[in-house]
Structure 1
């Protein structure tokens, strides 16, 4: 037998090719966000929230007037109903994403009692996981690339970024003068191509606490019909008003249901912020669009919460009215204290906030953000800088009324002491 080497015959005894002794240089794994995420700015309140967290970890007693997070409990009857409903095994399955029928009927009942508005609970009312969720998903239902919304300025962040996350564009108009706001809406529609698709309004306004009278919404409906605008009214502070003022519902204006919807919530007047119970009511086709989006995103809220919300709407109106009186007392305590310090503050007629102009010489010498940080770091009082609500908010602070009157007076004392100890602010 020949032992001549044949290169075409495989040698099964030969060792396998040696693997490389080192791995190739690693390539960093990249997470690529959608363009809509890149359109979001850095979170404006992150710096304040981080400092607040660090100070509290260190044991400092910080009075937090930054977030409108109610500190009072719901009516005991509502809590008891939640407990009873949660004990029922039948309430723990998936619920309808548009809300159970009895809850929608109760919302329609409240609109009829309080505003004289008749709503079809089957087609003109939908329950949301808080009004913020509903608003954001309504933007997804109505808007897309190339669409524009008119929003109030200064703006509550979701009014701006709910539109942006839906790939829409924004025109922000100053709300300080309601007549000028309406005039600017008309001017924008006359001079912009394509005409804006959605008009977003918010009264009582967050953050500025601006309010309007019913005639305002009559004109909104007229403009909406003239220019083909769909209207979204954020009515989050419907249940918190002072000195006899009654915030009007957009839906009470003649023809409002033809052109728009209104969002309400149980977070504020009912002290149910963490429960996430909100509603959208009005134009049936817009409600249908929101329901379509929600059907893909969620299975509705926990049914026990919906049952408790029915009791809250049906049986606690007196408690809600009393809560407004509590907020009014807190408003008076904070406003009078700030005025004694020389601040220029207008008492709000509604809402959970005081919109306070930064006093001189601080207003001219540092940004609103830096001033807010000063109050936090040196005075142990947290507030929201107006710049967090857009450039129109620069020069103002938003102070919430969630602390009791004693704590609010203490906050004023700490602010006064903080500012008196540094008479000459550094320029920025």
Structure 2
């Protein structure tokens, strides 16, 4: 199964041990804070300062999330009125559009096209649409395309947000899964971003903690407060012992990644080598644990995924599942043990008869 992006590597022992230690403490058995444990929010602020050189007030500009998915899904409720326009990356994480629709917004695709290096072209939208836009979802490093964005892109979108008075929701979940010396930027490295943006991050990808459900958002104090207020009506926070484990994860992030990234690099290279030898023209991803592969002539993304499933018994994700502009591609996740991934590559090679 090369479909879902769910790390197969175990959560690091330093994180598990902290969870066990804190789970035994009776003070952690009561309701947690809606906004998140003070120590966790301070750890988030410290990590941002160290990683991106950006300072946040842990009391006003940081909120804990039950995974970044939860925050992304609920954030449109903080921003939108009925009928407001939302521009959402396409192909992109489906929650951007679904969360917006549930909040009464009208999601429009923000096309990510190969000819534009999978970066959106805001000039393609008429002035009338940008003037009605209330919220824009972007995500770099990108799922599913694995594209990265330069700091100049964030400068452009921040300028547009100031000009047209919309809010930017940047999904930074894959910032730490990067290769070949690349380091992904935060939107908050751009001057003026704090007035118009919120950024979501998760420990799921960074520290192999998908099942733990812990993430956070940082940014504009007004929108952080609004998201926290929505959450008080929907959930009761994150188990404190998990938040203490999150503190351990953030404090040891560099060491944790040093053990993870070489594994993903080897797997990325294996997949890229296989498909290039099979004649596929694809880019070498600089980040994320996905490879975005153009389908052969005569196939749609769905029919090629079906072909690979039937002939090779390997699951890949059809690009159309991420939006109409994902057509023509399939996504392969490298979150499978290396031996199994190698077997999958050999099966695909045999199925394609090359």
Q: Same fold (TM over 0.5)?
A: yes
1:211 is aligned to 2:148: yes
Contact 2:131 2:164 in 1 (8 A): no
Q: Which has the higher contact order (CA 8 A, sep 6+)?
A: 2
Per the alignment, residue 306 of structure 2 pairs with 373
3-state SS of 1:268 partner: helix
3-state SS of 1:233 partner: strand
3-state SS of 1:264 partner: strand
Distance 2:291 2:324 in 1: 18
Larger Rg, first or second structure (1 or 2): 1
Per the alignment, residue 271 of structure 2 pairs with 334
TM-score using structure 2 length: 0.96
Per the alignment, residue 169 of structure 2 pairs with 232
Deviation at 1:316, TM superposition (A): 3.6
Given the alignment, which residue of 201, 217, 239 partners 1:264? 201
Per the alignment, residue 383 of structure 1 pairs with 316
Per the alignment, residue 417 of structure 1 pairs with 350
Distance 1:189 1:322 in 2: 47
Q: Note the residue ranges of structure 2 that are not aligned, 5 or more in a row.
A: none
Distance 1:235 1:178 in 2: 20
1:345 is aligned to 2:278: no
Per the alignment, residue 77 of structure 1 pairs with 14
3-state SS of 2:137 partner: strand
Per the alignment, residue 275 of structure 1 pairs with 212
Given the alignment, which residue of 103, 122, 135 partners 2:72? 135
Distance 1:181 1:331 in 2: 22
Per the alignment, residue 58 of structure 1 pairs with none
Distance 1:127 1:67 in 2: 24
Structure 1 window deviating more from structure 2 (334-343 vs 295-304): it is 334-343
Per the alignment, residue 287 of structure 1 pairs with 224
1:223 is aligned to 2:160: yes
1:159 is aligned to 2:92: no
Structure 1 window deviating more from structure 2 (155-164 vs 126-135): it is 155-164
3-state SS of 1:192 partner: helix
Distance 1:372 1:266 in 2: 30
Contact 1:178 1:216 in 2 (8 A): no
3-state SS of 1:201 partner: strand
Provide the aligned length of Structure 1 versus Structure 2.
Answer: 353
What's the CA shift string for 1:139-196, capped at 9, x where partnerless?
11111311011111212111111111111111212224668955x4255361327520
1:314 is aligned to 2:247: no
Per the alignment, residue 32 of structure 2 pairs with 95
Contact 1:175 1:210 in 2 (8 A): no
Given the alignment, which residue of 374, 398, 401 partners 2:331? 398
Root-mean-square deviation (CA, aligned residues, Å) is: 1.7
Distance 2:134 2:123 in 1: 13
Deviation at 1:125, TM superposition (A): 0.2
Distance 1:230 1:388 in 2: 26
Deviation at 1:409, TM superposition (A): 1.8
TM-score using structure 1 length: 0.79
Deviation at 1:300, TM superposition (A): 0.3
Contact 1:217 1:250 in 2 (8 A): yes
What's the CA shift string for 1:386-424, capped at 9, x where partnerless?
110111111111000101332222111101222329xxx
